[in-house]
Amino acid sequence: MLMAYLYVVEVADSLFLLRQTGMTWGNLSAHLSKLEAAGYVVIEKEFLGKKPHTTVRLSARGRNAFEEYRGNMKRVLDNLPTK
């Protein structure tokens, strides 16, 4: 789900991702850490005034992986029998 949201935006902040996914802070952090370790996302942390601000974007590798996944899912769904 995170990859899909990131695919349609250039960059997203953590609050946007929390609101869109309904995840908890801890759950979002765990998912993003795994995606970052796989090289699928780039996470940037900064301060806006005194408040921390985290932004996330898909890397080229992440964008390619999502496009491949999307194509595979489309083929699977297109091949399902209809009633």
Q: Give 10-residue mean pLDDT values along the chain (83 residues).
A: 95 96 96 98 96 96 97 95 85
Cβ neighbours of residue 19 closer than 8 Å, sequence gap 6 or more = none
Measured distance CA(76)–CA(80) in Å, rounded: 7
CATH ID of 2-78, from 1.10.10.10, 1.10.1740.10, 3.30.565.10, 3.40.640.10 = 1.10.10.10
Alpha helices in 1-83 (DSSP H): 2-7, 14-21, 25-37, 60-78
Give the predicted TM-score (pTM) of the model.
0.86
Handedness of CA 57, 61, 67, 68 (dihedral sign): negative
